[in-house]
Structure 1
């Protein structure tokens, strides 16, 4: 059967919204079909089982959270210094704010990974690959800092974003610009 890629993408986007709103336990074919406003049974025609669905959702989350090539090129036209690293960190926060559902869905996938070894393995490959891609990007772009700088900033930013999404009142009284600058300064050394 020929698959409609636009519909498949709409189903994955609906699955991300369901994960963000209802959690992994609420992620059913029926819930996805309802969120995507398609006939009952549509999602099951595109995803044979839950593992395939979860794997596809992970890929879609990754795609939605990636910066555009144009945005990266524009940023790389700036001097390759500490301020550019700060800009990249702020860009990550802006993307998280613009697509909170993706980050919440990723949190749900991570929680599901604690219970399901196959999801843990796939998510581990994805996240480890992302970290390595970030390290390579930093090196290839001749940005300040080494491998541990990139890894430290990755974990710091992940924690900051999750705090802002789950307990925003904890972070709200803090000056976000100052916090990001301090994180970058401490990571770069």
Structure 2
């Protein structure tokens, strides 16, 4: 299948998921959203499961592109994290989260829809593996600064950051935090993420400022 057609169809499916939820995801709805003749989506993705798996692959590719562009510590070829770099690293992660809450909001909503679908359909559980890359990166980053049990700490860090994203997009934080896509939101996220990074690396803000 041509890469451009894969992108057109899966991007349309992402928008359908974000606007209508999993129940609204049909081959016909994707055709309509993409502005293509009816039957196009089913010709490429014969089943709904195949369509969902293709959406997840597309989401993973787009997320990976965002992470690669940010060159966060833990990525191949990226600088190693030092504690003096925590604020800058937190700002980089905050910028990605802010994007996922604003211009890439549909992608995030579609991701949540796919994850929920997988909890009800064991045959789709394999799609969850796409999130492993961020965990590997987090473990490597925390290991570089001497965190205790970096593998476990890395997984916990990713879970906390995922929770922060969900809270700002769909939870109580959506009404109390600064609006997504603003400098105020990125600054607020930076503070939260820097606190998490120091906590999981075993260094509190107080210890850092005291020179410990």
Deviation by residue 1:57-109 (Cα, 9 ceiling, x = unmatched): 11100111122645317994586332344234224313313311111001001
Partner of 2:50: 52
Aligned partner of 1:176 among 179, 189, 193: 189
Calculate the TM-score normalised by the size of structure 2: 0.75
Displacement, 1:115? Answer: 1.4
> Once superposed, what is the RMSD of the aligned Cα atoms?
2.7
Calculate the TM-score normalised by the size of structure 1: 0.83
Displacement, 1:136? Answer: 5.7
Q: 1:94 to 1:34 in 2, by over 3 A?
A: same
Displacement, 1:131? Answer: 4.6
CA distance in 2, matches of 1:172, 1:14: 29
Q: How many residues align?
A: 184
CA distance in 1, matches of 2:193, 2:68: 23
CA distance in 1, matches of 2:2, 2:170: 35
Alpha-carbon contact 1:65-1:95 (below 8 Å) kept = no
Partner of 1:138: 141
Aligned partner of 1:64 among 56, 62, 65: 62
Runs of 5+ in structure 2 lacking a partner?
180-184, 203-212
Q: 1:86 to 1:135 in 2, by over 3 A?
A: closer
